[in-house]
Chains A and B, each alone.
Chain A
Amino acid sequence: MLRKIVLFGMLSLVSLVIFSCTPGSANEEEIRIGIIAPLTGGASVFGVASSNGSRLAFEEINERGGLLGLPVNYFLIDDEHTPAVSIASFQRLVHQDNVIAIVGPVTSGPANAVGAAAVQNRLPMIAPTATHEDVTSFGDFIFRACFLDAFQAYNMANFAYNNLGARTAAILFDSGMAYSEGLAVNFRRYFEALGGEIVASEAYISGAVDFRTQLTTIRATDADVLFLPDYFPVIALMAAQVRELGVTSTLLGADGWEGVFNVVDDPSILDGAFFSAHFAVDYPSPVVRAFVESYTERFDVPPNSFAALGFDAAGILAQAIEEAGSTDNEEIIRAMQNISFNGVTGPITFNDRGDPIKELMIIAIETNDDDETVARLYHRFVPE
């Protein structure tokens, strides 16, 4: 008898667990959207900015009356910049919070993990800033708001050759980092295809601080431009050594340069350099002016590219839901594929892969009339 009671108890416990895990019916009173971002860990700086951008977008949408007449309720989950945690966050958003779409993950590693895990669910997903090539390769339900690294390298080579008139280029890159090496390889390929010559291609290992040997070799080639595809802390070190050694090539960089002013004591050492970016605060558009103002007011710091891409990713999803006129996932995916979105990072449409066709900004670092070193939107590459 006792055994039967225990068995019954266990069975009811098991069924309780099973039933509580079953996805509930979609909530009819609100639009539920998940945001996955690294709020702690090594990529928290990116995750906080990106998710702040997305939150701001949804808050503004609610102020304007929500989507399909319903308020948006977002569920923000920290993936700690770890693929395993991001999958768990995804499962929770799907099964517990019953979200209909996801903005995120922010970084490429977790984005790839979630993409692979989300294939059965076919939940519309848009990664704001994951630049790795594979991110959108898991199915037509995954999109991203940012351009890819090869596109950056292509445009930077184009800018060097056609806008600056450079014919010789040198490259200094981190051979142990996919981001840096990928940009270096592609820059070389495109610059040579245009008819330019790579006169020096020097590598270093991750964590290096002394680049003077490589820069001395590069100085001797007298290259027109020097491409430095790395993140801003490394650029701060390189800029000081470029100045010390008197290298005269024009410095070129990529989106990893954003934030470099925070880590140089004297920004004038970067005077004359150019780098590619997703977003420019001085972009000539009322949408950007309004975004910069409201973001700065809400979070007390001006928005960067991550914030802008988080804002646009959320905006794209919201517009797709509105255009689909429904919360059905296939309808939203179809609306995303055909979207024409006017974002703060420029106008966006999607190709077959779910990668955006959009503008690339070239930012110039220069000295203004008040003798201050400033970054300014110098040129835009507009897709044909």
Chain B
Amino acid sequence: MCLQVLPPRTSIMELFIAQLINGLSAGSIYALVALGYTMVYGIVKLINFAHGDVIMVGSYIIYFLARYAGVPFLLAVFLAMVGCAILGVLMEKVAYKPLRNATRLSALITAIGVSLFLQNAFMVAFRPDPRPFPSLGVEGSVTLFGDVTVSWLAIITISVSALMMLLLHLFVKKTKMGKAMRAVSEDSGAASLMGVNVNNTIAVTFAIGSALAAVGSALYASTFPLVEPFMGLQMGLTAFVAAVLGGIGIIPGAMLGGLLLGVIESLTRAYVSTLWSDAVVFGILILVLLIKPSGLLGKTVREKV
């Protein structure tokens, strides 16, 4: 049953590195989810509170496909990406598009409404009982040096997140659609005049953000293997904080914010108090916003008159 044994006296340094790895593993999932918040905010200035619930939907899709339809895990994840992308586009078309020119507050409240709708619809449809997420079947760990080991699950989580972020970065920087996204983000009116199809661009943004959330749900639920209707709530909130911390609307900011948040959480629990981790996380958020309101990587844009 035992996979590896740490000798009783693990050195302080080794323990610190182990906690750092725990933080990076959690943080890379936060980062992946934070990307969804930041992309949508960057392009339509909307905080999509239902984004956390897309993770919940993705987990249910993988759960049902893998457990009841016998679909292999990776294929199930791919189908969940497709399913979530469709859900994201649908959400945008039904709930957000009609409000695109409404006040920000109306859009925000609509987003909360969509979130509550998804949670409760799933609760009614599938009951609130938690369900066991299919295990990835990845076990064991690698010894880095000395007594420091990293589980394969953490390695997979961190590398898949990194790969997804790299692909997104390349997509935004190198493709035509990526260029259109940047253009709409900067000035949708001007982009429209230059022949960019703003509606399509926004739809694609929602689709990509939601597909990334589906990958996030596979990683999240593999690490925390329970699927239930409200699982996206806390995760979504934490990822949102990560996005704001890094600078909402800025893609590298979401990555930095997510990783930072995961590490801060882990180290606070290990060296300050397990009960204070949320307080420390939100305290740091408030501090960053006081000193640099646009987030760590945010640029202050001056409005020209």
Residue ranges of A at the interface with B (Cβ–Cβ < 8 Å): 45, 175, 202-205, 207, 209-210, 212-214, 216-217, 219-222, 233, 236-237, 240-241, 243-246, 248, 262-266, 271-272
Contacts and interface: CB of A to CB of B under 8 A. Distances in A.
A271 B1 contact: yes
A220 B6 contact: yes
Contacts of B275: 175, 203-205
Interface centre among A45, A248, A265 (most CB of B within 10 A): A265
B148 to A, nearest CB: 11
A236 B149 contact: no
Given A212-B22, A233-B130, A265-B132, A202 B274 contact: yes
B10 interface: yes
B133 interface: yes
A251 to B, nearest CB: 10
Contacts of B270: 213, 216-217
A213 B234 contact: no
B162 to A, nearest CB: 19
B99 interface: no
Contacts of B274: 175, 202-205, 213-214
Nearest to A240: B225
Contacts of B18: 216
The main secondary structure of chain A at its interface with chain B is: helix
A207 B132 contact: no
Contacts of A236: 130, 132, 225-226
A205 B277 CA distance: 10
Enumerate the 9 nearest inter-chain pairs by beta-carbon distance, A residue then B residue, closest first. Answer: A213-B269, A222-B8, A265-B132, A220-B10, A209-B224, A212-B22, A246-B3, A248-B2, A233-B130
B26 A263 contact: no
B197 interface: no
B199 interface: no
Given A207-B234, A216-B19, A217-B15, A265 B225 contact: yes
B153 A214 contact: no
B4 interface: yes
Contacts of B4: 246
A246 B223 contact: no
B153 to A, nearest CB: 5
Nearest to B67: A265
A217 B224 CA distance: 19
Interface centre among A212, A222, A243 (most CB of B within 10 A): A212
B9 to A, nearest CB: 8
